[in-house]
Structure 1
Amino acid sequence: MEARMVGSGWDRVPIDSQSIDAPLSRAAVFLTLTVAEGHEALQAVAGILDGLDDLIKTVGFRDLNGRLSCITALGSALWDRFQTGKRPKELRPFVPIEGAKHTAPATPGDLFFHIRAEREDLCFEFERLLLDQLGSSVTVADEVVGFRYFDSRDLLGFVDGTANPTGHDIGASTLVGSEDQAFAGGSYLVVQKYLHQMQPWARLAKDEQERIIGREIVSNVELPDATSGQKSHKTLATIVDDDGTEHDILRDNMPFGRPGQGEYGTYFIGYSRHLWVTQKMLERMFLGDPPGMHDRLLDFSTAHTGAVFFAPAPRTLSELVEAVQA
């Protein structure tokens, strides 16, 4: 991935885009947009994407230690509108998953921005300027402001993202490689907004909560897999192929909420090298394994959105922009 460094010596701080492996941040904005019909709107969007690095730099220079970054991702329909003649092999719209009790819905989304920083005001200012520049060429389909909650816990009380890959494994799990050389360095992205039923969850005994999640609340230690009945969330979200190889995704989930409105949630955002891995995880959660034995976490956490995007490497994003501007 590309990154531009500012400053000098050991205190240089990256101000960059498309850095999927950037450290988890304290603040984030998850912004889903639809793009207006017509070539004029498409050209306007392409022009803003062309200057995105400069906008990140403009806002991020106010506090280099704020580590502002932004990942841009395109949905299947918007990708086709760019008319490049080629597309990532697995890119497609989000397919709703209808289980016996719970459904993962598909919702609109052409363009997605994952804005991250150590300061909420940097995320706010970047989003404000970005939307001002995009103007009437886009409509906001969904906007969520996330925050780090204590020691990376969700609002249900459990540490989130424990199974994330680390070090060199991040790239191997999240970045497309030689299997789709034209789009190497990019990543498939699935997003969902979940709202929690906090009071029913709070009424559960602690050991019951732990069985549902598959980890201890305080220590975060994994519990043994259930030998009967419904499997834990941890078990259902672990994907192993027929060869016995476990496939990871990178979660950058964040809590969000408005207590005055009774809104408490988790924004799920998963980056993966192969879209089928995240798809399989969601199918196991909503349909159950075996079928009918769904993830019990869904009894307390409801998915309200669902969309698939592809975050191209900087080089590929530049090619998309040039194709529209030509």
Structure 2
Amino acid sequence: MPIAPPIQPGILETIPAHAAYLTFQLRLGANPREVLGQLAEQTDGLTTVVGLGASLVHELGAQVPGLKSFQGIKGAQVKLPATPADLLIWLRGDARGDILARGQTLAALLAPAFELESTTEAFNHDGGKDLTGYEDGTENPTGADALSAAFAPAGAAAPEGSSFLAIQRWHHQLRHFAAMPRTQQDHTFGRERISNEEMDDAPESAHVKRTAQEDFEPEAFVLRRSMPWSEGNEGGLVFTAFGHSFDAFEALLRRMSGAEDGLKDALFTFTEPQTGAYLWCPPMHQGRLDLRAINL
């Protein structure tokens, strides 16, 4: 029987009913070591998934091979904001109240060294669909392919079981999208909404054509665990892509943004990212977050 890799298992699990994304910045002059040790004890990797930013790792005098800060894409024809975070916590669960309570507890634990910068509540919509009604993550790898795409293997430069997270909060102009003719909506995604079947006659700008992961060299597979968000009448998608490096995500975004050939993904006709950050999700060890790679 193969030994299970030391991953944060929530990354591999399907999308939960509810979630919250909490981002933190290190307080000026604060020493984060003690509270990070306490956070490691509180992190099960399943209901609480943790990612660390490059600036925090640097502040600790450490280095994780492959970790860097998101700085957009050179030559992009669209806005790709870079909003680095020192720490991100993805809370997962079945009840909003439980997630709220856990978030408050962790924010209080971290408060001596970290300031809570933002909280985005998210949810599972109609069995995994985007707020537009289109299925999200159709081509996600599964099984051994998911492990290979999302986590650093044994012998890699990064610790085994590490995952590199690219995260963007996209804001949809939902009224604008709803006003589009149905054919234009389908051509934007490149899929028929009800059947989820790819459309042969979709334009080259269609999202599925711009991001066909097997069409890249090398293939650009990531493990997507995106979730819709809403505040009042506004909403969108918290795009999350886990990889064994940032290479696949950057290849996808380069093509989507028009940096590769000048053709922008049709998604940009109704939505755009408000944020963009890279995080390192450490592996687990003996039931807690494994921070030995950064000397904790």
TM-score, normalised relative to structure 2 = 0.89
Q: Which residue of structure 2 aligns with residue 145 of structure 1?
A: 121
Cα distance per residue 1:156-182 (max 9 Å; x no partner)? 110111111112211011011246244
Q: Which residue of structure 2 aligns with residue 75 of structure 1?
A: 53
In the alignment, the residues of structure 2 paired with residue 33 and residue 225 of structure 1 have an alpha-carbon distance, to the nearest angstrom, of 45
Aligned-residue Cα RMSD (Å) equals: 2.5
Q: Which residue of structure 2 aligns with residue 48 of structure 1?
A: 38
Q: 1:142, CA displacement in angstroms? A: 2.4
Q: 1:98, CA displacement in angstroms? A: 6.4
Q: Which residue of structure 1 aligns with residue 221 of structure 2?
A: 248
Q: In the alignment, does 2:285 pair up with 1:317?
A: no
Residues 1:118 and 1:270: Cα distance change in structure 2 (over 3 Å): same
Q: 1:153-168, aligned counterparts within 5 Å?
A: 153-168=129-144
In the alignment, the residues of structure 1 paired with residue 73 and residue 17 of structure 2 have an alpha-carbon distance, to the nearest angstrom, of 31
Q: 1:306 aligns with which of 257, 276, 281?
A: 276
Q: How many residues get paired? A: 290
In the alignment, the residues of structure 1 paired with residue 260 and residue 64 of structure 2 have an alpha-carbon distance, to the nearest angstrom, of 32
In the alignment, the residues of structure 1 paired with residue 216 and residue 172 of structure 2 have an alpha-carbon distance, to the nearest angstrom, of 34
Query: Is contact 1:173-1:249 (8 Å) kept?
Result: yes
Query: Is contact 2:282-2:291 (8 Å) kept?
Result: no
Q: Which residue of structure 1 aligns with residue 18 of structure 2?
A: 27
Query: Is contact 2:152-2:163 (8 Å) kept?
Result: yes
Q: Which residue of structure 2 aligns with residue 10 of structure 1?
A: none
Q: In the alignment, does 2:278 pair up with 1:278?
A: no
Amino acid at match of 1:268: F
Identity of aligned residues (%): 26
Q: Which residue of structure 2 aligns with residue 237 of structure 1?
A: 211
Partner-residue secondary structure (3-state), 1:45:
helix
Query: Is contact 1:75-1:93 (8 Å) kept?
Result: yes
Q: Which residue of structure 2 aligns with residue 107 of structure 1?
A: 83
Residues 1:159 and 1:75: Cα distance change in structure 2 (over 3 Å): same
Tell me which structure has the larger Cα radius of gyration: 1
Q: In the alignment, does 2:61 pair up with 1:87?
A: no
Residues 1:225 and 1:77: Cα distance change in structure 2 (over 3 Å): farther
TM-score, normalised relative to structure 1 = 0.81
Query: Is contact 1:27-1:148 (8 Å) kept?
Result: yes
In the alignment, the residues of structure 2 paired with residue 249 and residue 182 of structure 1 have an alpha-carbon distance, to the nearest angstrom, of 17
Query: Is contact 1:230-1:294 (8 Å) kept?
Result: no
In the alignment, the residues of structure 1 paired with residue 148 and residue 134 of structure 2 have an alpha-carbon distance, to the nearest angstrom, of 26
Query: Is contact 1:18-1:72 (8 Å) kept?
Result: no
In the alignment, the residues of structure 1 paired with residue 104 and residue 139 of structure 2 have an alpha-carbon distance, to the nearest angstrom, of 33
- Structure 1 residue runs of 5 or longer lacking an equivalent are 4-15, 58-67
Query: Is contact 1:190-1:269 (8 Å) kept?
Result: yes
Query: Is contact 2:123-2:227 (8 Å) kept?
Result: yes
Amino acid at match of 2:269: D
Q: 1:99, CA displacement in angstroms? A: 5.8
Query: Is contact 2:149-2:243 (8 Å) kept?
Result: yes
Q: Which residue of structure 2 aligns with residue 290 of structure 1?
A: 261
In the alignment, the residues of structure 1 paired with residue 112 and residue 201 of structure 2 have an alpha-carbon distance, to the nearest angstrom, of 51
Cα distance per residue 1:42-61 (max 9 Å; x no partner)? 124323223214xx59xxxx
In the alignment, the residues of structure 1 paired with residue 255 and residue 153 of structure 2 have an alpha-carbon distance, to the nearest angstrom, of 26
Q: 1:288, CA displacement in angstroms? A: 5.2
Higher relative contact order (CA 8 A, sep 6+): 2
In the alignment, the residues of structure 2 paired with residue 179 and residue 236 of structure 1 have an alpha-carbon distance, to the nearest angstrom, of 33
In the alignment, the residues of structure 2 paired with residue 80 and residue 191 of structure 1 have an alpha-carbon distance, to the nearest angstrom, of 20
Partner-residue secondary structure (3-state), 1:287:
coil
In the alignment, the residues of structure 1 paired with residue 76 and residue 222 of structure 2 have an alpha-carbon distance, to the nearest angstrom, of 26
Amino acid at match of 2:197: V
Q: In the alignment, does 2:184 pair up with 1:211?
A: no
Query: Is contact 2:18-2:92 (8 Å) kept?
Result: yes
Q: Which residue of structure 2 aligns with residue 11 of structure 1?
A: none
